[in-house]
Amino acid sequence: MDEIDKIKKKMMDDIMTDSSKGNGWPEGPVVVGDTNFTDFVGKYPLTVVDCWAPWCGPCKMIAPVIEELSQEMKGQIAFGKLNTDENQGTARNYNIYAIPTLLVFKDGQMIDQIVGAYPKDALKERLNTYL
């Protein structure tokens, strides 16, 4: 494990520790990467991971939607954000060829893959089917 991986792990451990206070759900989207992806999607009954990149226009459009939904659906769905440029291993494992892509996990198993920037209401309606 190189120094950057150690820093990422420490940051994720700190985030997970902070999120375990109170009701145990994160306050907003959690930054995930190759080193902590599996731990994150396995920690909560239902998770959605936003796969994005900094240069992606549609990713920038959906980012505030993900932020809002993470607040509105706290306690039901945990949201994560995966920068595909920095975490190519995970992107490759889940066959992410277009972004934004939302990966939906239930009990640690992927149950859906949503490609594209959906409006908030449409995305929330789709996610509600998994609750």
Average pLDDT over residues 85-110: 97
Fill in the DSSP letter of residue 29.
Answer: P
β strands within the chain, DSSP E: 30-32, 46-52, 78-83, 101-106, 109-115
Domain count, the chain: 1
Residues with catalytic annotation?
56, 59
pTM of the model: 0.82
Helix (H, G, I), strand (E, B) or coil at 82: strand
Q: Is residue 122 part of a domain?
A: yes
Residues 26, 79 contacting (CB under 8 angstroms): yes
Bridging pattern class, strands 109-115 and 101-106: antiparallel
Predicted pLDDT of residue 2? 74
* Residue range of the domain that includes 36: 28-128
| Model confidence at 83: pLDDT above 90 | yes
CATH number at 111 reads 3.40.30.10
C-alpha to C-alpha distance for 122 and 124, rounded to whole angstroms: 6
